Structure 1
């Protein structure tokens, strides 16, 4: 039986309150973003609209890119909160709070309560980990299941109790199965590579039996079969086949416009996970942990970091999401550094001070100058070659002129944190640094995110919402899911209504409203297309096509 004393209970309650204060406010204040947020929310909305919860669809057509677990969670949220932005993002806010409790618990077992708390606040106080728990994407859920699977496996390697080993390997298999149900077999690949490399580093010493390995694999397959098995029985192997083809395309090509250089993920982690990434650098240096279980867990976390980073640097398709699993080892290693410094086991060198001021300066300057450049758009538009992007920036979005203060105040607080740390007031310095980054994330969400959304998709989203009654079809002429979600596409409409070509040239049964980019106007605005141009503004062109007269 697990016993939690009053101090531990207080720490759990503090983390729940901190997580709720950081991750829940303003979840529904901004429209969902194309592509991923709207894509996933649309799949969940269609499950509710169609009543088909066992098959993922987009535009009411089978969608093989993702398995359904995350959509099931979003459906539950939408049943409680309604079909809206808050409900779509609530799942990750909930998992954000759960993640804080999990890393605190694991950290407490590996070191002690102080370490667990440092690990949790490293998540709260780092940019991208904080921001992603306020999003509507799959990765925070997917990553937590993978992390739990690896943690259970590490626990099994360390345990001498046969009953406990059976229990933790079963739990690891269930977590792996849930990860596979969240985003696919890539979860098992990450787990297998991490465990396999760890096993190689201990020279394939016997750390588990064949029976334990089979128990793990059986638990994973049984859990994953909740969807994959039933889907195959009902609809055949088409989902598995298409899903595998899609995964191969992601690995071998820069799919969906996401081809980026090899070093992309290094930069994302370095700056996106500030300040945890800054602290983590120190922990990559060789140091000896006094306890065997600490040595084992450190090794697992470092291996997981390099497995994810190298794998997704090799993969041709690169997005910020793909390296997000590294945030567990990065924040863990950050906690190792802070914990060691606070205990006097790790020295704080001058080079760390220099790195801190450089990281802080670059980060704060980017936040401060961003609104200045957007307000003075005439300075940057001559440098932008994309005609569509230039047109989007012409939209008259309100800027007060004081938005630069977010970055300026942030930098001032970072300087204060730097002074505290340089004077060896580490506890206060770390607290100020992490708190300032968390508050800066919230300020960015409140001040900048709505304006960014207005520039990038505000016009089309409002157009779709205005025409979502069902009297017309609405369709985007570029890749987007906003027309489906905000246009409230209904099941049971004309069987060809999902086909863009039919909407453009076929015998439609009601008017169609199209939204295209100005770069597409030469094609779709041509007389032979038969579309009536309604308006053109801020990068987007709006058309109408009426049914042919009898």
Structure 2
């Protein structure tokens, strides 16, 4: 009977699709790179160009970069008049270069075109996928290395970071490069200790550490140190550490990072180090910054969503990974993963993307177990593969609900891609015991592309009220002023507004908004309902001539609250 049911299931299965592409790509590294690049673009591009600036981190990074371009000062980092010393300068330099190239190629209004600022994240994410393949080749065969890299490309969390103009996708790139070089040094020592290491891999590792330090401080160095320490403890020997060229490498790293750190120290004194180390890094360890505190276990719970679809196999792979923990490859990957994961779980401030640089180790571990065909087969564990269907099904329902709540319609445009994602997820789960884990995982990966298209290319662009700043910017530019001046009441002071309408955007109360309009033509005030009374009173008191231009209703996704703003325009002559 079960054989008949399996035959019926197989007859309903979709074509091999990505499995055929995987067969083709396994024959050479060039083909593997082509497949990974094509799949990464399919996974990351939907919505990349359409989604407006997202609050708050993306808009803050983009605005600080825009001010560098406006001022020509590429050392100091500022958001409006305030210094922004929480992160080093690397990401701002990369974004500045992207915007300059875009401007040179004729992109209109390049300084306020958010997708240009996202290009470093896109390239960092694609580079991290390709590097995951390169790293995995030190542990598994080519086909399994491809599977590991595809897991990263399809992971929900990396898809998010590839579309945001911030540090984390680039940090992932530098982290994977450093850890891949370190892995080759360590495995060479364990497998062929008589073979000399040379300078190439240590040079790559320390250069990647330096690049990571310029992007997000000492995190990459932390991964390397914790991994090296764990391996030395387990092996009961630290002599292999000399193969990392620690003295020369550390000096090289300092040579690469010190010019900017010296320049910012000369410009800001101790202010940068007080804010970056004291107020940002150390305070995250002891308290939940900006309401982002969470108890230990937070990342473990989020993992099942943020690493989907690969996470569905994580539980099935865990018993075999544990049994293989003393093998050199598994030992290195666990040393990469476990100590840093524990640190992140202990640190008070928690954000989903913090553990992203550890996901390649998980992907390679799962791919290695797939290669051995050693996934756990206990029925209660196999039932967890329903996750391939549950996630896209939940997304499909959530998208319809979002359209009903925010768009007052059923969101029919999102239904076809959401349905395809759910059907692929259903086949991945239902045919798991028929076609095997690899094909099921590949179907989950293709489902992730359709999930991305549904959410990023259809849902967000068709719901402009989720991005009030972009709506406001369009209204202001439609008013016919070449250089509008804007003030907003304190109820809405998001960074995306500053990025979209101008660095000189002011934030004030209702009375201050009336005084601002008094300064002349092409001045606009965004006034929330609570401030309208004081605005009108002050406007009448000073004899201000103004007009109601537009009323904006939206939703502030950064705080989860509705936004209602009235745009008033000055009728005063300059």
TM-score (norm 2): 0.79
Equivalent in 115, 118, 128 of residue 89 of structure 1: 118
The Cα offsets for residues 144-197 of structure 1, whole Å up to 9 and x where unpaired, read as: 212222222233333346862544223222111111110123333333223323
Is the contact made by 2:334 and 2:361 (CA closer than 8 Å) also made in structure 1? yes
CA–CA separation in structure 1 for the residues paired with 2:244 and 2:32: 38
1:257 matched to 2:281: no
Equivalent in 463, 473, 477 of residue 486 of structure 2: 473
Secondary structure in structure 2 of the residue aligned to 1:423: helix
1:373 matched to 2:373: no
What is the CA distance between 1:514 and its match in structure 2? 4.3
Secondary structure in structure 2 of the residue aligned to 1:67: coil
What is the CA distance between 1:97 and its match in structure 2? 2.2
Q: 1:113 maps to what in 2?
A: 142
Q: 1:489 maps to what in 2?
A: 503
Is the contact made by 2:67 and 2:78 (CA closer than 8 Å) also made in structure 1? yes
The Cα offsets for residues 282-329 of structure 1, whole Å up to 9 and x where unpaired, read as: 33324489999xx33423332333334333333333222222223222
Q: 1:321 maps to what in 2?
A: 353
Q: 1:455 maps to what in 2?
A: 466
What is the CA distance between 1:463 and its match in structure 2? 4.5
Is the contact made by 1:130 and 1:438 (CA closer than 8 Å) also made in structure 2? no
Is the contact made by 1:92 and 1:135 (CA closer than 8 Å) also made in structure 2? yes
CA–CA separation in structure 1 for the residues paired with 2:46 and 2:455: 13
What is the CA distance between 1:139 and its match in structure 2? 0.1
Q: 1:78 maps to what in 2?
A: 99
Is the contact made by 1:266 and 1:309 (CA closer than 8 Å) also made in structure 2? no
CA–CA separation in structure 1 for the residues paired with 2:179 and 2:217: 17
Aligned residues: 517
CA–CA separation in structure 2 for the residues paired with 1:161 and 1:135: 45
Pair 1:258–1:61, CA change in 2 (3 A) = same
What is the CA distance between 1:113 and its match in structure 2? 1.1
What is the CA distance between 1:118 and its match in structure 2? 0.8
Is the contact made by 2:552 and 2:567 (CA closer than 8 Å) also made in structure 1? no
Equivalent in 337, 349, 359 of residue 305 of structure 1: 337
Is the contact made by 2:547 and 2:571 (CA closer than 8 Å) also made in structure 1? no
What is the CA distance between 1:47 and its match in structure 2? 1.6
Question: Where do residues 409-428 of structure 1 align in structure 2 (5 Å cutoff)?
Answer: 409-428=420-439
1:59 matched to 2:58: no
Q: 2:20 maps to what in 1?
A: none
CA–CA separation in structure 1 for the residues paired with 2:552 and 2:329: 55
CA–CA separation in structure 2 for the residues paired with 1:323 and 1:105: 20
Is the contact made by 1:43 and 1:56 (CA closer than 8 Å) also made in structure 2? yes
Q: 2:14 maps to what in 1?
A: none
Pair 1:171–1:445, CA change in 2 (3 A) = same
Q: 1:381 maps to what in 2?
A: none
Q: 2:28 maps to what in 1?
A: 7
Pair 1:306–1:449, CA change in 2 (3 A) = farther
Is the contact made by 2:432 and 2:440 (CA closer than 8 Å) also made in structure 1? yes
Is the contact made by 2:309 and 2:445 (CA closer than 8 Å) also made in structure 1? yes
Equivalent in 257, 263, 266 of residue 300 of structure 2: 266
The Cα offsets for residues 70-120 of structure 1, whole Å up to 9 and x where unpaired, read as: 111111111222421221222222222222221112212322211211111
Pair 1:479–1:65, CA change in 2 (3 A) = farther
Is the contact made by 1:154 and 1:296 (CA closer than 8 Å) also made in structure 2? no
Pair 1:498–1:400, CA change in 2 (3 A) = closer
Structure 2: give runs of 5+ residues left out of the alignment. 1-25, 104-109, 554-562
Question: Where do residues 221-232 of structure 1 align in structure 2 (5 Å cutoff)?
Answer: 221-232=254-265
CA–CA separation in structure 2 for the residues paired with 1:65 and 1:524: 36
Question: Where do residues 39-50 of structure 1 align in structure 2 (5 Å cutoff)?
Answer: 39-50=60-71
Is the contact made by 2:43 and 2:452 (CA closer than 8 Å) also made in structure 1? no
1:178 matched to 2:211: yes
CA–CA separation in structure 1 for the residues paired with 2:319 and 2:158: 24
1:198 matched to 2:231: yes
Equivalent in 312, 323, 336 of residue 368 of structure 2: 336
The Cα offsets for residues 385-444 of structure 1, whole Å up to 9 and x where unpaired, read as: xxxxxxxx4xx5654446355444322222212233211444433322221222222232
Pair 1:155–1:228, CA change in 2 (3 A) = same
What is the CA distance between 1:521 and its match in structure 2? 4.0
Q: 1:33 maps to what in 2?
A: 54
1:134 matched to 2:169: no
Secondary structure in structure 1 of the residue aligned to 2:565: strand
Secondary structure in structure 1 of the residue aligned to 2:137: helix
Root mean square deviation, CA, Å: 3.6
Pair 1:312–1:533, CA change in 2 (3 A) = farther
CA–CA separation in structure 2 for the residues paired with 1:323 and 1:351: 28
TM-score (norm 1): 0.82
Is the contact made by 1:56 and 1:68 (CA closer than 8 Å) also made in structure 2? yes
CA–CA separation in structure 2 for the residues paired with 1:422 and 1:210: 45
Moved more, 328-337 or 26-35: 328-337
Structure 1: give runs of 5+ residues left out of the alignment. 378-392, 491-496
Pair 1:471–1:17, CA change in 2 (3 A) = closer
Question: Where do residues 200-239 of structure 1 align in structure 2 (5 Å cutoff)?
Answer: 200-209=233-242, 212-239=245-272
Secondary structure in structure 2 of the residue aligned to 1:540: strand
